[in-house]
């Protein structure tokens, strides 16, 4: 008697962060049998600025998750303020609606609830390897082998699945690398804007995430050739005396979490029966705050590109997904690269921001590119 072989899962997702959960929700709502694997126990917490630009907030609302996030875990912000070393600043309000600061754990919990309600099977497990065979992708996990029509890599900035599939782009060996670190503080937000404080080689980002908590994050550059101990959170904070004074005596409400290097190039966002989404699909920098918006957009575009019958060759669908994401990617990458160029050249950055004070339309144009 022939052994019984269960039908393959339609879509198997590796990674239970926002991008993986967004794919899961949309895929299940289209009627695909969807299984999501997350290795962390409980709700995973990651280094994140926790700010959703207006476009990302609209995507979150469309997923049905925004209504599940309690007021104590979120706070609206209505624009961005850049603050230079001498205290001068320029600010602007969004024209396409508010953004919102949301605690990462609360965001993931709300998305998980939506995924469960949509019929997604959520498992605690980890993908170890994957190989394409006989029209499916066979996936080795800690709990055994799973077979799927499509494997979605939502496994983060340094995606092991992307690397194993040889989809990593080429690195520039002499380029400076960017890193990020964040921590929360019990403090009433003093503004309804995201504040970006600039200094040579490092920026500080302050995002309100509730009526009583702010997220403070630093992004900085480190030459590849540099050796010695890395700068600490406190080292970075001392570069910003005004911000340091605001936080003096305030209670830290979370541990320090870091991430990097941030720049991740990709050769393509799909191959055979593997698709990359979110940070795994390539990353420039967190300097514009568009990471979550792009993650939600990639999830929507991937599911839209898929055919009803996933047993057919998925190459055309994955190429269609890659092409459809390029426009959103450019909208993210171009302002990010402009701001990175200014971050590397403090004198030019100071002149450029002074120019936006004289001509506010320039700053409004920048906001229009990132919101």
CATH number of the CATH domain containing 295: 3.50.50.60
Tell me how far apart the alpha carbons of residues 70 and 292 are, in angstroms, rounded to a whole number: 19
**Residue 227, pLDDT score:** 52
Tokens standing for residue 230: 């890395």
Q: What is the pTM of this model?
A: 0.93
**Residue 4, pLDDT score:** 40
Answer whether residue 228 is part of any domain.
no
Q: Domain of 160? A: 9-56+104-169+264-336
Answer whether residue 288 is part of any domain.
yes
Tokens standing for residue 251: 């209670």
**Residue 306, pLDDT score:** 97
Answer whether residue 366 is part of any domain.
no
Answer whether residue 143 is part of any domain.
yes
Q: Nearest-5° angle of CA 291, CA 176, CA 220? A: 55
Is residue 113 within 8 A of residue 102, CB to CB? The reply is no
Q: How many domains does the chain have?
A: 1
Is residue 367 within 8 A of residue 91, CB to CB? The reply is no
Rounded alpha-carbon distances, angstroms, from residue 321 to 13, 153, 178, 268, 359: 16, 14, 28, 10, 39
DSSP state of 255: -
> pLDDT class for 319, splitting at 50, 70, 90?
very high
Answer whether residue 209 is part of any domain.
no
Answer whether residue 253 is part of any domain.
no
Answer whether residue 344 is part of any domain.
no
Answer whether residue 254 is part of any domain.
no
Q: Where are the alpha helices (DSSP H) in the chain?
A: 18-29, 54-63, 104-118, 160-164, 233-237, 241-247, 291-305, 315-344, 346-358, 360-370
Is residue 86 within 8 A of residue 109, CB to CB? The reply is no
Is residue 186 within 8 A of residue 210, CB to CB? The reply is no
pLDDT digits (tens, 9 = 90+) for 267-300: 999 999 999 999 999 999 999 999 999 999 999 9
In 3-state terms, what secondary structure has residue 36?
Answer: strand
Question: CB burial class (10 A; 0-12, 13-18, 19+) of residue 160?
Answer: middle
**Residue 344, pLDDT score:** 92
């Amino acid at each position: 008697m022939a052994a019984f072989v269960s039908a393959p899962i339609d879509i198997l997702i590796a990674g239970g962060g926002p991008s993986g959960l967004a794919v899961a929700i949309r895929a299940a709502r289209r009627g695909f049998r969807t299984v999501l694997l997350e290795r962390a126990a409980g709700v995973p917490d990651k280094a994140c600025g926790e700010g959703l630009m207006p476009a990302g907030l609209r995507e979150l609302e469309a997923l049905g998750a925004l209504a599940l996030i309690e007021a104590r875990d979120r706070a609206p912000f209505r624009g961005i303020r850049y603050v230079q070393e001498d205290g001068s600043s320029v600010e602007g309000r969004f024209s396409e609606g508010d953004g919102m600061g949301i605690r990462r754990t609360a965001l993931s919990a709300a998305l998980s609830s939506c995924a469960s309600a949509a019929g997604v099977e959520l498992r605690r497990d980890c993908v170890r390897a994957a190989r394409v065979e006989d029209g499916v992708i066979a996936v080795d996990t800690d709990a055994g082998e799973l077979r799927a029509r499509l494997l979605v890599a939502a496994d983060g900035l340094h995606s092991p699945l992307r690397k194993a599939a040889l989809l990593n782009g080429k690195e520039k060996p002499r380029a400076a690398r960017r890193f990020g670190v964040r921590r929360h503080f019990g403090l009433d937000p003093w503004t309804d804007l995201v504040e970006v404080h600039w200094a040579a080689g490092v920026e500080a980002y302050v995002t309100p995430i509730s009526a009583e908590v702010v997220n403070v994050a630093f992004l900085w550059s480190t030459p590849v050739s540099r050796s010695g101990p890395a700068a600490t959170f406190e080292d970075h904070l001392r570069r910003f005396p005004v911000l340091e004074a605001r936080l003096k005596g305030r209670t830290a409400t979370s541990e320090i979490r870091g991430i990097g290097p941030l720049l991740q190039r990709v050769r393509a966002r799909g191959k055979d029966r593997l698709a990359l989404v979110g940070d795994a699909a390539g990353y420039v920098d967190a300097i514009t705050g568009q990471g979550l918006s792009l993650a939600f957009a990639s999830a929507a575009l991937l599911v839209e590109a898929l055919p009803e019958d996933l047993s057919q060759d998925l190459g055309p669908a994955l190429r269609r997904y890659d092409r459809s994401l390029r426009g959103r990617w450019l909208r993210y990458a171009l302002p990010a690269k402009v701001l990175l160029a200014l971050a590397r050249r403090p004198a030019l950055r100071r002149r450029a921001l002074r120019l936006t004070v004289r001509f506010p339309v320039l700053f409004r144009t920048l906001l229009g590119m990132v919101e």
